[in-house]
C-alpha cells in the first residue's frame, strides 16, 4: 500500500512539473525585428478612440492623434517556446536625448516615460497564432483633435512633423514577464546590447 501511495504521489508530481513546463515560455526565446512603420496618425482603426463623459453625463468620443510605431517581429526559435508570449510581452520606446528633448519641446513633456499621465500610450500584439511572425504596436498619444478633459489639444502638424523627424532616435525595448529580453536600434533594426547603467 505504501508503494502504491508513493507511486501515486510521484506520478502527480511529474504531471505537475510537465504541466508547468508546457505552459511556461522559454526565457531564452527571442525575436528578430524584421521591419517597422513610424507615423503620426489620427486613424481610429490604428489607434482607437477615447471616451469621456460630457456635461450631460453621457459619453462622447475623444479623437486623439498618436506617434505610432508598428514593429514586425519574427520568433527565432520553435513556436512552442513562445506559447505564453502574447500575454507576457511588453515594450517601450527608450528615446535618446534628441527624441526626449523634441518631445518636451513639442508636447511639454516626455511622452515616453511611464510616469507620463498627460497623454498616455497603448500597446497591442497581433499575429503569432499560426505563424512565427506577428506585429507589436506602440501608440504614444500626442493630443486630442477636439477640446477634451482627457488630454490637451494636439500641437500643429508642423510641430508634430518635428517629432516625427526624430522618432527613430532611440531603441525599442522588449520585455517578457517584466524582464528585458531584447532591445533594438530604431534606425538599423539591429539588436543592441543593454548599456551599463
Determine if the pTM surpasses 0.85: no
Report yes or no: 86 and 94 within 8 Å, Cβ to Cβ: no
Please give the Cα distance from 19 to 13 (Å, whole number). Answer: 10
Q: Where are the domains of the chain?
A: 27-185
Each residue's pLDDT tens digit, 50-88: 887 777 777 878 899 999 999 999 999 888 888 878 888
- Neighbouring CB atoms inside 10 A of 68's CB total 22
Least confident of 24-33, 122-131, 172-181: 24-33
Across the chain, mean pLDDT equals: 84
With cut-offs at 50, 70 and 90, classify the pLDDT of residue 26.
low
Report yes or no: 137 and 171 within 8 Å, Cβ to Cβ: no
Amino acid at each position: 500500500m505504501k508503494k502504491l501511495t508513493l507511486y501515486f504521489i510521484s506520478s502527480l508530481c511529474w504531471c505537475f512539473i510537465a504541466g508547468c513546463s508546457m505552459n511556461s515560455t522559454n526565457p531564452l526565446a527571442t525575436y528578430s525585428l524584421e521591419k517597422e512603420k513610424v507615423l503620426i496618425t489620427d486613424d481610429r482603426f490604428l489607434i482607437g478612440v477615447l471616451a469621456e463623459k460630457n456635461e450631460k453625463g453621457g459619453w462622447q468620443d475623444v479623437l486623439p492623434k498618436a506617434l505610432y510605431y508598428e514593429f514586425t517581429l519574427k520568433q527565432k526559435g520553435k513556436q512552442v517556446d513562445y506559447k505564453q508570449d502574447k500575454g507576457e510581452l511588453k515594450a517601450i520606446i527608450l528615446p535618446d536625448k534628441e527624441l526626449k528633448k523634441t518631445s518636451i519641446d513639442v508636447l511639454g513633456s516626455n511622452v515616453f516615460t511611464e510616469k507620463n499621465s498627460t497623454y498616455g500610450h497603448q500597446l497591442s500584439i497581433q499575429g503569432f497564432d499560426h505563424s512565427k511572425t506577428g506585429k507589436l504596436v506602440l501608440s504614444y498619444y500626442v493630443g486630442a483633435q477636439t477640446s477634451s478633459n482627457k488630454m490637451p489639444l494636439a500641437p500643429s502638424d508642423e510641430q508634430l512633423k518635428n517629432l516625427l523627424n526624430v522618432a527613430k532616435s532611440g531603441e525599442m525595448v522588449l520585455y517578457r514577464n517584466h524582464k528585458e529580453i531584447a532591445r533594438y536600434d530604431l534606425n538599423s533594426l539591429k539588436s543592441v546590447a543593454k548599456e551599463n547603467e
